Structure 1
Amino acid sequence: MTSPIATILIVDDEPKNRSLLEVLLKPEGYLTVTANSGEEALAMVEENPPDLILLDVMMPGMDGYDVAAKLKTNPATRNLPIIMLSALDDRGSKLAGLSAGAEDFLTKPIDRAELWVRVRNLLRLKEYSDFLAQHNQLLEQAVRGRNEEITERKRAETQIIRLNRLYAILSDINAAIVRIRNRQELYTEACRIAVEHGHFRMAWIGSVDSKGTGLSPLAWSGFDEGYLDKITLAIRNNEADTLVLAMRALQEKKPVVCNDIDSDPKLAHWHIDARQRDYRSMGVFPLMGDDQPVGLFVLYASELNFFDMEEIKLLTEVTANISYALEYIKKEEKLNYLAYNDVLTGLPSRTLFHDRLVQALTNAHRHRDRLGVLFIDLDNFKNVNDSLGHHAGDMLLKQVAAMFSVCMREGDTVARLGGDEFVVILDSMTSEDDAWMVSQKILKLMTKPLTIEGHELLVTCSIGIALYPKDGEDAKALLQSADGALYLAKNKGRNNAQFCTAEMNAKALERLTLENDLRQAINRQEFLLHYQPRVDLISGEITGMEALVRWQHPVQGLLYPTKFIPVAEESGLIVPLGEWVLRTACEQNKAWQRAGLKPVSIAVNLSARQFKQQDLVEIVTRMLKETELDPSYLELELTESMVMQNVEAAIATLSQFQAIGVKLAIDDFGIGYSSLNYLKHFPISFLKIDQSFVRDITTNRDDAIIAKIIISMAHDLGLKVIAEGVETDGQKSFLSLHHCDEMQGYFFSMPIPAEEFEILLRERCCMSMTKPRLL
């Protein structure tokens, strides 16, 4: 069916381009003719039609689109395959060429191997098309002939149907290869075409690992009913003996077929499964890359002896084309990676960094978020290159890049600009302190020695910080500000971080000093607890207390939690501080009980970091045992946001606390997630209404409604309600009228030292309760 020599017409107004294409096609043995314009090409086609045309797009006078359109509207040349050639690589140019009627599109400069594959494929398709036309003509003659044998007519019909099917597979998969630039999408489309147009019962494609033996199914189409799951299980269990055809195709690097699965003893393991799914024949076709198998295209047919020589030949061509497409995708991915990533460290390069910064700034402007940029420069990096060589310098840069990445939050970007310069984008910051915290993490991490080729090195860095929008509203301004801040850091002796403004640097210095003082305060035991009583809104008696930490700073005096707790949270010091608060509160409560005072519960706030500790329940259990406090007199308060971050884990932890007898409360209720659907699943005893609702409860209708709803909902769930921040008789009366259970706030008592709280317990102080009136 294959013609001995194919004639290819090359149409290009540039003589050099025509000569180059002739040279590229010569090894394939094609006969080439040339035309230097669209008009000349049309005249040559009319006189002596070629088998294929390579048609340049941009030509003076009649361009390639016009030539293709004229050829495709002429019935005599409609089936003449055309490959458009263009230096333009955009999607619009390709679509314009395909719309004009071209079968394929190649981008200049032309890759020789790609040219050969595309030309060979289209000539192959033309052969099938011509062959089909001949058979259709013969069939028509046979039908008209009175003496034509019926069997001959049926044979011709069958052959035409078969050729149509083969033509459809090759044509559609080649079209998919031209169109698709995604590996998974190409696999899926190839399987679909094989089933829908090739009439296969099932088709699947799997990738091969670097060793050339491990197989992973990635795409499939057709009637499966769990067959591929069994193959996947066999692969996972390393049952190579049950996948003999696949293993053989991988080892021999060539197609392997079985035209009678049910009778092949090598496939005995699959006989029943294949019979149930009507798989009679199968073919395994390797996908190659660099002369090694990179995947398999596996097809199943419902007919015996389905894979004849013509079928195998065509499917071998199809898999060769898919293999070439995979190589093209691989090269394209590598080029894209190299264009946007630093080769040495794997971090985003300057180009990708700039794209991400522009996008981050757009999002920050739209959502009114804060954004930070950190310029990082390694101190004295030149000394490493000069003393140990550039190879050691490269190894150092790779290690440092990995360390910087560890310090980042999810969604942040760290990039390498070149040399020893790095830059960081901190997206969606909650406060300006976030940028400072990240810079301190980096500086702290860099204090650890690095080992490079047997040499232990201590490498420091300088960091410049700029913030959006105060230090710049576009990428250029922000980067200039960060660069200026880096200059300040270097002038201050390196190994430090600086903002670009004196105000921000003063604030950062104050925070750093506070953190250092905080570390010392824990060792020096400079903390103390104040206790705020909770009272019953019916009896007025004290029912419990909340332990609130204070810091007796040696210079600044008594500091309240709002001053130092955020620093403790961010630095991680909240964990040892929280354990001190918990132990001290339990010891104090037990001491009052031993003194014969009325037993009441003590509430301790847990921080988010504490709640995430894996051994939190064990820590609390141990402290209760050591202080001898009954668990029923300890309450732990958590915020809504803490328990909603990971609901399942939160429920598990809270259930463990419930099991040991510790009571639980949701603090600041109403300002967090307000996830009422989940509330019923938490084993809690109390809800605390946030003081922001209580403050205006008598003057703000919305706050009043919210408070009433919270109280009613909590009671329906069997929970008690505690109102925080009660400061007036009106607030107390409103809460009492609407059946709130308890309250705490300045109306009864502010948080007070232990000795003053002891007096309240000894004297059994109560809040005077008058009958609430309707407000």
Structure 2
Amino acid sequence: MSDEEELPQGTATILLVDDNPVDLLVVCKQFKRAGYRVVVAREAEEAIERAGFVQPDLILLDVVLPQSSGFELCRRLKATASTQDIPVIFITALTDVSDKVSAFEAGGVDYITKPFQIGEVLARVNTQLSLRAMQQLLNARNQQLQQQLSEQRLQREELEYRATHDMLTELPNRALFMDRLTHAIERARRNQSQLAVLFIDLDKFKIINDTLGHGAGDELLQSVAERLRSCARKSDTLGRLGGDEFVVLAENTSAVADIETLIERLSSKLVEPVLLAGLMHSVTCSIGISLYPRDGETAETLLKHADLAMFQAKDRGRNAYRFFEASMQETLNRRVSLERQLHEAFDRDEFVLYYQPQIDLRNGRICSLEALVRWQSPNEGLVLPGHFVPLAEESRLILALGEWVLRSACLQLQRWLNRGVPVVPVAINLAAAQFADPTLDQLLKGALVESELDARYLELELTESMSMSDPEVSLAMMHRLKEIGVSLAIDDFGTGFSNLSYVRRFPVDKLKIDRTFVEGMISNPQDNSIVLSVIRLAHSLGLKAVAEGVETEGQVRLLAEGGCDMFQGHQFRPALAAPDIEDLLQRQVCVSPDLLARPFQLRTVLLVEDEPQVANSFRRMVRNHDIHVIAVEGPAQAYEVLAQQDIGVVVSDYRMPREDGIQFLSNVKRLYPNSIRILMTGHVDRGTLENTINQAEAFRFIAKPWYSDQVIATLEQAFQRYDYLSRAGGVSESLGM
């Protein structure tokens, strides 16, 4: 039989290694008849090559071969991984017992001496092939068993991993973290050392999850986990308890400073912007810390106390950390009680709407109202929204509360209309979860139908961050709301991350300037520039600008001068109950026209001086020169006076608390560039004064103690300069004033 002849699949292959042609011919012929495939090799190297290539089921090997013995060849075959398991039967004329021993030592399984009976050879070959087949079957079964055991072990390990780890972040879960914390407490007890538990909660995660979707929320959680890994110490244990709650176990923390260093590292890493839904977002965190053994001796107690401290950090305005204090338990008890009462408040109908007027800065009339929810608690009294709305958001009551506000405002408006009250539109704030609800437009339609209210009386306010969380989704919802007929406003404008290309496309009617900028606009040039820029932006887009949180007359006058359309704030009225608002509407109460303009005070000096005797002396000095003096004790009062009226000359002392005269005059230069600024001091060196004048922070300076004639002359020069600039249409940058 040739090497290439085709045989049925499964036919056993025998490699015959012999250099005797007669033996080869006889054996080949008989084995072919027996149904075997036979491959022949005549010397050792050829046998090695063919054995590796053919992978025979059995080898018949002569001991005496050219250039090598059969024993050596057998040893080589057994030393090779691919052929070491192939059984070898020696066929040889050697009959010495020592040769047989050598054959078995070399790895042979049988030894047949020549001359032989072919029947005997076939019988022995069949026996070895059967034994090999059995061994292969056993090996296969053993491998299968090992594989099954390995798979079971992997499955068990996978189940154990899933039972002890959070699958989203691959951090230890609560069970594993608590186990490790328990062991860490035992070590700390033996070593008399301290450990810390840090409870980390992301700020405003629910807003991101609600507005951007759960996919973006999961991406944020994974990013947080990676950042925690990157800045935690090797000895620290991290964990995720669920939601946006993470924990860190820090062992061997000998000092509070060590913990604060770790917190600073964690906080600064977490606040780095992360890309979510195509936009960059910065996320802060609130951290609570408990210490062993000071704050507890069990894992459960330490974790609970760290959690309490975290809530205190959130109550402090978020993006903060707090160490546990015993008094926090009382605060938690009150919070739990408040949340329980909040659930009951819906059944008891304890919520009430207050309304804050918005004033038209062109005529001083009430042009709209903002509805603000209050909780009339039988235990706590009138509770402001800042104390219970965050609780409502956390407990998912915010949707029910938002629906109640919407329906109640609509019904109140219709009641006023039915009684003939000259109503104005009412604005309602939407929570992030409300705006993310795809059925918001249907809810709005239902409230309008139920109250039989015309949609033109309703305005919805969306925060800037809420609108920009997913601009395309926001845009689609806004158009659906506008089709109903309500107007829209973007609230807290300037505090988020607006993309102006989207703001231009949003079908809104108003931009509401955040109160933080309004508060600083009379004293902070940057805030003033932001307010004026938002007003100009709104007008360029065909929108109205509304200023929030207006508290002073100066703010009102600057806003009116800057072209702002409307304002709201305590300067006119705080939020009032419905009967009080109805009274204002019926009586057509409005702001005095005098409040809407900054009058000019002829030959008036604003004197900023904190020493009363100096201010009185200054008044006496100028009283016979037709100069009016308004004296204030510091910059805060001076900014308000400047906002209320147009002052020609400002004289400021150098040494004042909180803000020196040069900084004050520098701000005045940027806020009111036409005012002529004079520095009065006896403490600044001449070089500083000359630089101040050269940089146009001050027009002149008055030295203390002064000479009356020189002061009067300086003031007259200042008035002349002011008159010139007023006639010329204002100061230019080239003048440096």
User: What TM-score bracket applies, with the shorter chain setting the length?
Assistant: 0.3 to 0.5
Please say which structure displays the higher CA radius of gyration: 2
TM-score of the superposition, structure 1-length normalised? Answer: 0.43
